[in-house]
Chain A
Amino acid sequence: AQTVTQSQPEMSVQEAETVTLSCTYDTSESDYYLFWYKQPPSRQMILVIRQEAYKQQNATENRFSVNFQKAAKSFSLKISDSQLGDAAMYFCAYRRSMNRDDKIIFGKGTRLHILP
């Protein structure tokens, strides 16, 4: 069964600095998708970035980028120029491709604190 592991329950970073959140996953599939979701104090789940496993190029969305290492089954999120609004719980997630039962599997989350 697929699993997603986030080994850092909490992290802190100084405002304007860069922080990297770690995620590893386990799968026997070759084609899948990986996601990072953000959950601010409002509780709303927001999709931050997605990565397709068959694409070697790392996805980027403005200040958010990923380091996708398929062989190592690693999918870290880098946040550059951290802002107070980045404070949230971040969930790494996995989904198989094009399958009737392709539910998203979530990690347990990393709570990110931004220090002013």
Chain B
Amino acid sequence: NAGVTQTPKFRILKIGQSMTLQCTQDMNHNYMYWYRQDPGMGLKLIYYSVGAGITDKGEVPNGYNVSRSTTEDFPLRLELAAPSQTSVYFCASSELGGGAGYTFGSGTRLTVV
């Protein structure tokens, strides 16, 4: 049982480039999330999805896009990368219900230069 798989683990982008962070879960969770983690700032929600075909903005969505065509996959797209997007990105999933904590992926460290 792989849980939540994120790829790549590390990436360096040049300003203006685009990329997609991949996230796949095999637990049949309806809820999926993308967070970014900046030093001393905790985790900030970028986008989330409550099921296939449904996505919504979180706290810091600017500069990002998502799609959810299947239950398993929730890719995060960065268009026109900027230095402010240098961060560690986490994908997470959970079952329906407040008591269910998240299962996290291992994170992607992205540097924009």
Contacts and interface: CB of A to CB of B under 8 A. Distances in A.
Interface of A: 9, 31-33, 35, 37, 42-45, 47, 50, 52, 91, 93, 95-104, 106-109
Contacts of B48: 103
Interface of B: 33, 35, 40-43, 45, 48, 50, 56, 58, 88, 90, 92, 96-99, 101-102, 104, 106-107, 109
B90 to A, nearest CB: 7
B42 A52 contact: no
Given A97-B97, A97-B99, A43 B88 contact: yes
Contacts, number: 60
16 contacts: A33-B98, A42-B106, A43-B106, A43-B107, A44-B104, A47-B101, A95-B98, A96-B98, A97-B97, A98-B97, A98-B98, A99-B98, A101-B50, A101-B56, A103-B45, A108-B42
B111 to A, nearest CB: 15
B101 to A, nearest CB: 5
